């Protein structure tokens, strides 16, 4: 069994080919079972690997795997996979079926934009000072209420007052703690908003350590949901992420007057290859 895969970078900065968040996309996953998809995601060992399947509800069905588990939705896999589907189907307007629902995606040149699910949110069942402590920052640096936000994948969104506070985060407290999403994941997105742009970082546990993501579209969508929770709509933000990982990334957030959240970024294709698997796999 031979399967074609693509390597793309999503949320690139100024279209730099080695910036943004890398993604592996299998263009036709027909015949691959869940265990094999999970094993392939572990083989490539990127933040996520996606698998394209036929859909009777959308232009394609997409399954998203980290090296450890399947995700219902994630931002850079959505945009990167849309780039591959769009090239194969010669379309710049798509709908992708995911466990989180049907996600509309559009493109203008290299920039792909998704419309996130309508966000929901809930308060954190811990004092704000405890949340700050788990993230390794002083409680006085909090710029508002930390919230669990879900625009496709629930994550903790934490506003901070300064870029220095964002840079100082050391969230070792996420390991082994009880600060977890509804699906049991300890993910935290910290950000500082200067009124036009945002500096952000995203952390998640992997194999007993805290890992930092270079660019997180799902968390950007949740940032849009956080703004909606504060009654803030009709806004746009340019988000910088990934500097601390050596993968500078740029993400674009829009929240319209109705509170609909859009996330966009530039996609660069690096290459493609063929992976051969024994038929018994």
For domain 120-259, give the CATH superfamily: Diaminopimelate Epimerase; Chain A, domain 1 (3.10.310.10)
Domain boundaries, the chain: 2-115+266-276, 120-259
The residue with greater pLDDT, 205 or 83, is 83
Query: Quick one: CA dihedral 240, 263, 45, 4, positive or negative?
Result: negative
Query: Quick one: CA dihedral 167, 173, 193, 116, positive or negative?
Result: positive
Average pLDDT over every residue of 195-220: 93
Question: Active site includes 2?
Answer: no
- CATH match for 2-115+266-276 among 3.40.50.300, 3.30.420.10, 3.30.930.10, 3.10.310.10: 3.10.310.10
User: 262: which 2 tokens?
Assistant: 């859009």
pLDDT band at 242 (very low <50, low <70, confident <90, very high): very high
Q: What do you get for the CA distance between the two ends of the chain, in Å?
A: 9
**Active-site residue among 27, 48, 97, 154?**
48
The mean pLDDT of the chain is 95
The pLDDT of residue 6 is: 98
């Amino acid at each position: 069994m031979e399967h074609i895969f693509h390597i793309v970078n999503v949320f690139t900065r100024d279209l730099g080919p080695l910036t943004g968040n890398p993604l592996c996309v299998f263009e036709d996953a027909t015949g691959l079972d869940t265990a094999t998809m999970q094993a392939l995601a572990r083989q490539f060992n990127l933040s996520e690997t996606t698998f394209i399947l036929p859909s009777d509800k959308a232009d394609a069905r997409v399954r998203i795997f980290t090296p450890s588990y399947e995700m219902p939705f994630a931002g850079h896999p959505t945009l990167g996979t849309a780039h591959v589907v769009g090239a194969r189907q010669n379309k710049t307007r798509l709908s992708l079926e995911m466990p989180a629902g049907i996600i509309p995606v559009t493109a203008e040149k290299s920039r792909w934009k998704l419309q996130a699910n309508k966000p929901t949110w809930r308060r954190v069942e811990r004092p704000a000072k405890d949340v700050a402590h788990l993230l390794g920052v002083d409680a006085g640096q909090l710029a508002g209420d930390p919230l669990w936000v879900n625009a496709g994948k629930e994550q903790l969104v934490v506003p901070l007052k300064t870029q220095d506070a964002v840079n100082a985060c050391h969230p070792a407290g996420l390991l082994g703690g009880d600060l977890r999403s509804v699906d049991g994941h300890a993910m935290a997105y910290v950000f500082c908003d200067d009124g036009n742009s945002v500096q952000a970082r995203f952390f998640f546990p992997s194999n007993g350590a805290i890992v930092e993501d270079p660019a997180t579209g799902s968390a950007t969508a949740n940032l849009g949901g956080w703004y909606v929770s504060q009654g803030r709509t009709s806004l746009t933000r340019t988000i910088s992420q990934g500097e601390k990982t050596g993968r500078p990334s740029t993400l674009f957030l829009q929240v319209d007057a109705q509170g609909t959240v859009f996330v966009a970024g530039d996609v660069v294709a690096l290459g493609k290859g063929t992976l051969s698997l024994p038929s018994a796999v």
